[in-house]
């Protein structure tokens, strides 16, 4: 083994002198044998100290902050001289040294450094072993192999000290020097330690005088004053890491970048110091469905036409972008652009774009990244990587450093995840700085990062479609559902399943509603029509019409091949919907995109997505309810005809107030009593009645159908809800004609309808021969044979 090193406190000009073979210079000093005095104190294997290096012979001072970690085989020196600063970080386990001056950094092999470059932290190497930092004794040039003479006690800077001296000759440098070491007296209280500290005395001063033996001969006179010495590293691991925003080219990739999920969402705060601006935005990113959303609010005074909060949904399946003003509800549909400042899209050619990958979104591509080390970001321990880019900003590129901070493994966020696997890490901060332009900088602080994107987050695009461009559908799943079924996961899986069956992109399936009724789960969704705008991706998805999508979905349900998996614990939920359950809702729904107006005497259904309460418009914009007292089949036929259905009305029943929670906001303030229609009237208001009253009453209900089969007694198989769907008749129980006395009575008659005719209420749905509970309002179905 050979030793490579230097006397760390010698000036660089002296160290660089060529070494020659000579003998000790007696004019400097003579070696004296140890005199039996106290041993020089043992220094810790980990320490930090501030050293004022006074080069008396050269006429200048160097200020040094040094960090020594012999346990982890690393060191760092921060020095200031002649008005400039220099940092050297020694990473001996990876055989690297980083020399940083200002914003520039050079990476070198530690084992290849010259003696002057190694300085304080000499390196031991050889015999095929890894390089290792000098021991403490080697650093200070004393130890068992060095003869030290105890000089006694003295006072240095007012501090009582013990004093040792040595006379040494360094053959590799041809230097003879006389060294004097001053340590605090045992028991002296240092500012760095408490009264209870029993650590050894600490260095106070080292004085070195000497002479070089080579020509031209040089005299040495250096005085090193120690302060702030402590047996630990106050900055921790950060002391041995390269400074922030400094990129060291050629650095080894010791720790790979963390994997990033293909689906994620987060909130972010953006700070732009030069503009004194703090911005906030939210982002949802789903590469599986090729869709992204970002919400932002343009800053006041920016180039944006409005400062209203904006939601933008980019659909890369079709190449369309939906820009929604969340204050006014206005929507603009246009081709996706790649000049929005967000990173969800990249140009393929001058006319087309594509969605970025997750790695591209985080700028992990086309950049050489290096692991920096551990940092603290807002109290959260993080791992940091740095990269250098020369292509940003796109229109006026400069050299910029990009620093990603990810939470250390083991930290989790209390947010939903798309699986039971905990993320290895999640982003906490991104900092971008100009290398030579200090005025160019911005940072992103991330919060609420999740690997789960709720399907409802993209439902905002439904505001861009009118009522005529929407179709509400309903699917019923039989059987008991696990108590731990995650409804969010179910909705996500259902959306993907419905989109696949309808042969549309998932963005066209919105507003999913899940309701549990005993042994059934009722799922509703809205199908959107294809947008009438050409996208700008290379191969846009050919959008089928709403009618085609509806037919595709209906056929899939009736064939029994609409399937999707939802994880539940260690198993998957896999349930096939009732084949005859697929229905199309007919009703009026007002949306932000289209407000529907009525005239006096109009009839409407309110209170739910699949059903509602019968109401009449007394005057323009003022609606009232209809009481069940006196309500009969004739009145039901008039109501159905007013709603646009010519089929007969076989049965009616009443419901109790208050209406369902969904309809609470539409509860009438006045009620029409005693309506008794003969069945031939043009409208409900034309029928005999007892007038309007403010007192609430039981609301009237009606079932409108096109085909009626004479009542029969159902067979056991027809009423067995566990039996599979068959092309035969399906039974449905209905209450008798409603009166005040029979409103709450159980059904006593049975009417059989053609296969697939389903009727129910907002709180109850009839499925294959059974009424599930009792509820509010009614549901209208038309053209049932077409739906089978």
Exposure b/e, 538-550, CB count within 10 A at least 16 = b: eebbebbebeebb
Q: Is the pLDDT of residue 327 over 60?
A: yes
Whole-number pLDDT of residue 589? 37
Cα distances (angstroms) measured from residue 214 to each of 28, 176, 219, 693, 711: 14, 11, 11, 118, 123
Domain annotation covers residue 674: yes
At 183-222, the pLDDT tens digits run 999 888 888 765 556 567 899 999 999 998 877 888 999 9
Whole-number pLDDT of residue 365? 82
Q: Is the pLDDT of residue 181 over 90?
A: yes
Closest CA to 578 of 564, 553, 559, 551: 559
Cα angle for residues 553, 554, 560 (degrees, 5° grid): 90
- Domain of 134, CATH number, reads 2.50.20
Whole-number pLDDT of residue 710? 32
Mean pLDDT throughout 318-329?
90
Name the average pLDDT for the chain: 73
Give this prediction's pTM.
Answer: 0.65
What is the C-alpha separation between 510 and 502, in angstroms, rounded?
13
Range of the domain at 52: 2-240
Whole-number pLDDT of residue 492? 86
Domain annotation covers residue 731: yes
Could you give the dihedral angle defined by the CA atoms of residues 386, 424, 317 and 493, in that order, rounded to the nearest 10 degrees? -170
Whole-number pLDDT of residue 656? 39
Q: How many CA atoms within 13 Å lie on the side-chain side of 397?
A: 7
Please indicate, yes or no, whether residues 672 and 781 belong to a single structural domain of this protein.
Answer: yes
Last residue of a domain, one of 207, 240, 273: 240
Q: How distant is the alpha carbon of residue 661 from its chain centre? A: 34
Domain annotation covers residue 228: yes
What is the C-alpha separation between 620 and 718, in angstroms, rounded?
47
Please indicate, yes or no, whether residues 540 and 607 belong to a single structural domain of this protein.
Answer: no
Residues 6 or more apart whose Cβ sits within 8 Å of residue 457: 265, 284, 293
Crossing angle for the helix pair 487-502 and 546-559, to the nearest 10 degrees: 110
Name the least confident of 164-173, 193-202, 304-313, 389-398: 193-202
What is the C-alpha separation between 363 and 694, in angstroms, rounded?
65
Name the least confident of 249-258, 296-305, 595-604: 595-604
Mean pLDDT throughout 99-109?
90
Cβ(714)–Cβ(768) under 8 Å? no
Domain annotation covers residue 276: no
Burial class of residue 234 (count of CB atoms within 10 Å of its CB; 0-12, 13-18, 19+): exposed
Please indicate, yes or no, whether residues 99 and 197 belong to a single structural domain of this protein.
Answer: yes
What pLDDT band is residue 760 in, cutting at 50, 70 and 90?
very low
Please indicate, yes or no, whether residues 526 and 668 belong to a single structural domain of this protein.
Answer: no
Exposure b/e, 50-83, CB count within 10 A at least 16 = b: ebebbbeeeeeebebbbbbbbeebbbbbbbeeee
- Read off the tokens for 445: 């602080």
Q: Is the pLDDT of residue 303 over 60?
A: no
Cβ(759)–Cβ(782) under 8 Å? no
At 378-427, the pLDDT tens digits run 889 999 999 999 988 888 899 999 999 999 988 877 665 544 444 567 99
Concatenating the DSSP letter of every residue in 226-290 gives: EEEEESS-TTGGGGGSPPTT---TT----SPPPP--SEEEEEEEEEEGGGTEEEEEEEEEETTTT
At 105-121, the pLDDT tens digits run 999 888 777 655 555 55
69-78, 112-121, 154-163, 333-342: which has the highest mean pLDDT? 154-163
Please indicate, yes or no, whether residues 543 and 616 belong to a single structural domain of this protein.
Answer: no
Cβ(760)–Cβ(775) under 8 Å? yes
Q: Is the pLDDT of residue 555 over 80?
A: yes
Cα distances (angstroms) measured from residue 783 to each of 564, 646, 753, 756, 758: 29, 11, 13, 11, 12
- Read off the tokens for 305: 């036409």
Whole-number pLDDT of residue 764? 23
Q: Is the pLDDT of residue 572 over 50?
A: yes
For the chain, what is the domain count? Answer: 3
At 47-62, the pLDDT tens digits run 899 999 999 999 999 9
Whole-number pLDDT of residue 194? 58
At 500-515, the pLDDT tens digits run 999 998 999 999 988 8
Name the least confident of 28-42, 444-458, 595-609, 645-659: 645-659
Whole-number pLDDT of residue 314? 92
What pLDDT band is residue 158 in, cutting at 50, 70 and 90?
very high
- Domain of 763, CATH number, reads 3.10.250.10
- Read off the tokens for 322: 């939906």
Last residue of a domain, one of 549, 571, 593: 571
Please indicate, yes or no, whether residues 716 and 655 belong to a single structural domain of this protein.
Answer: yes
Q: What length does the chain have?
A: 788
What is the C-alpha separation between 675 and 634, in angstroms, rounded?
10
3-state SS, 442-468, equals EEEEEEEEECCCCHHHHHHHHHHCCHH
At 478-495, the pLDDT tens digits run 877 777 777 888 888 889
Whole-number pLDDT of residue 302? 56
Cα angle for residues 720, 723, 727 (degrees, 5° grid): 105
Please indicate, yes or no, whether residues 634 and 773 belong to a single structural domain of this protein.
Answer: yes
Please indicate, yes or no, whether residues 199 and 141 belong to a single structural domain of this protein.
Answer: yes
At 580-636, the pLDDT tens digits run 666 554 333 333 333 333 445 667 655 433 334 577 776 655 778 888 888 888 888
Closest CA to 612 of 631, 586, 592, 638: 586
Please indicate, yes or no, whether residues 632 and 557 belong to a single structural domain of this protein.
Answer: no
Strand, coil or helix: what is 139? helix
607 phi-psi bin (left φ>0, alpha ψ -120 to 50, beta other): left
Please indicate, yes or no, whether residues 20 and 152 belong to a single structural domain of this protein.
Answer: yes
Cβ(148)–Cβ(167) under 8 Å? no
What pLDDT band is residue 21 in, cutting at 50, 70 and 90?
very low
Whole-number pLDDT of residue 120? 55
- Decide which of 629 and 153 is more confident: 153
Domain annotation covers residue 209: yes
Q: Is the pLDDT of residue 227 over 60?
A: yes
Domain annotation covers residue 578: no
Domain annotation covers residue 249: no
- Using the structure block, give the residue that is written with the tokens 């049965």: 651
- Read off the tokens for 736: 């008798």
Please indicate, yes or no, whether residues 505 and 627 belong to a single structural domain of this protein.
Answer: no
Please indicate, yes or no, whether residues 761 and 646 belong to a single structural domain of this protein.
Answer: yes
What is the C-alpha separation between 371 and 387, in angstroms, rounded?
9
Last residue of a domain, one of 214, 240, 266: 240
Mean pLDDT throughout 274-278?
87
Domain annotation covers residue 547: yes
């Amino acid at each position: 083994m050979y030793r490579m090193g230097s006397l760390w406190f010698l000036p660089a000009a002296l160290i660089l002198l060529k070494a020659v073979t000579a003998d000790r210079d007696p004019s400097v000093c003579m070696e004296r044998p140890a005199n039996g005095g106290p041993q020089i104190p043992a220094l810790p294997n980990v320490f930090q100290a501030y050293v004022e290096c006074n080069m008396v012979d050269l006429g200048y001072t160097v200020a040094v902050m040094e960090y020594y970690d012999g346990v982890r085989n690393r060191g760092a020196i921060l020095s200031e001289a002649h008005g400039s600063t220099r940092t050297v970080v020694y990473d001996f386990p990876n055989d690297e040294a980083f020399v940083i001056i200002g914003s520039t950094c050079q990476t070198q092999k530690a084992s290849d450094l010259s003696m002057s470059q190694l300085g304080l932290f000499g390196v031991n190497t050889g015999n095929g072993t890894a390089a290792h930092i000098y021991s403490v004794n080697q650093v200070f040039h004393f130890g068992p192999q060095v003869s030290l003479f105890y000089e006694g006690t003295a006072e240095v800077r007012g501090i009582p000290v013990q004093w040792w001296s040595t006379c040494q000759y360094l053959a590799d440098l041809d230097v003879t020097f006389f060294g004097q070491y001053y340590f605090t007296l045992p028991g002296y209280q240092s500012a760095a330690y408490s009264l209870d500290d029993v650590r050894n005395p600490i260095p106070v001063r080292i004085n070195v005088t000497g002479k070089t033996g080579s020509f031209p001969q040089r005299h040495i006179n250096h005085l090193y004053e120690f302060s702030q010495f402590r047996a630990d590293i106050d900055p921790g691991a950060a002391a041995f890491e390269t400074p922030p925003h400094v990129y060291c080219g050629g650095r080894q990739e010791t720790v790979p970048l963390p994997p990033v999920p293909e689906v994620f969402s987060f909130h972010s705060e953006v700070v732009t110091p030069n503009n004194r601006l703090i911005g906030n935005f939210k982002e949802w990113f789903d590469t599986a469905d090729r869709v992204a959303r970002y919400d932002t609010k343009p800053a006041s005074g920016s180039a944006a036409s409005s400062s209203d909060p904006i939601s933008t949904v980019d659909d890369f399946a079709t190449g369309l972008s939906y820009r929604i003003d969340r204050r006014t509800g206005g929507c603009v549909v246009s081709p996706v652009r790649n000049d929005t400042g967000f990173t969800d899209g990249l140009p393929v050619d001058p006319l087309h774009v594509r969605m970025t990958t997750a790695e591209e979104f985080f700028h992990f591509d086309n950049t050489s990244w290096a692991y920096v080390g551990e940092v603290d970001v807002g109290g959260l321990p993080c791992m940091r990587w740095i990269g250098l880019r020369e292509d940003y900003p796109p229109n006026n590129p400069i050299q910029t450093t990009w620093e990603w901070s990810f939470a250390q493994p083991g930290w989790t966020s209390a947010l939903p995840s798309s699986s039971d696997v905990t993320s290895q890490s999640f982003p906490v901060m991104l900092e971008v700085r100009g290398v030579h332009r200090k005025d160019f900088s911005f940072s992103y602080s991330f919060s609420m990062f999740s690997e789960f994107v709720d399907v409802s987050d993209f439902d905002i695009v439904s505001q861009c479609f009118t009522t005529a461009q929407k179709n509400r559908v309903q699917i019923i799943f039989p059987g008991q559902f696990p108590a731990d079924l995650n409804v969010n996961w179910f909705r996500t899986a259902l959306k993907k399943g419905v989109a696949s069956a309808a042969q549309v992109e998932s963005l066209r399936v919105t507003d999913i509603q899940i309701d549990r009724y005993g042994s059934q789960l009722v799922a509703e969704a809205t199908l959107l029509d294809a947008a009438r705008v050409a996208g700008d991706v290379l191969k846009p998805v050919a959008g089928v019409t709403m009618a085609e999508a509806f037919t595709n979905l209906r056929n899939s349900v009736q064939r029994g091949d609409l399937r999707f998996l939802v994880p539940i614990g260690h198993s998957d939920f896999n349930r096939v919907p009732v084949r005859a359950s697929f229905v199309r809702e007919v009703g009026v729904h007002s949306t932000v995109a289209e407000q529907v107006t009525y005239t006096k005497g109009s009839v409407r259904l309110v209170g739910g997505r699949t059903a509602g309460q019968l109401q009449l418009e007394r005057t323009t914009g003022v609606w009232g309810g209809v009481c069940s007292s006196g309500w009969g089949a004739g009145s039901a036929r008039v109501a159905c005809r007013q709603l646009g259905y010519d089929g007969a009305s076989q049965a009616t029943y009443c419901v109790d107030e208050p209406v369902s929670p969904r309809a609470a906001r539409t509860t009438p303030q006045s009620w029409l009593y005693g309506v008794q229609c003969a069945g031939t009237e043009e409208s409900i208001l034309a029928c005999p009645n007892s007038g309007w009253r403010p007192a609430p009453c039981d609301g009237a209900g009606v079932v409108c159908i096109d085909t009626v089969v004479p009542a029969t007694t159902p067979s056991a198989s027809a009423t067995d809800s566990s039996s599979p769907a068959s092309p035969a008749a399906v039974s449905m129980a209905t209450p008798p004609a409603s009166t005040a006395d029979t409103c709450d009575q159980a059904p006593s008659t049975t009417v059989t309808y053609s296969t697939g005719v389903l009727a129910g209420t907002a709180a109850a749905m009839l499925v294959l021969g059974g009424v599930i509970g009792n509820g509010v309002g009614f549901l209208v179905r038309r053209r049932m044979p077409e739906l089978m």
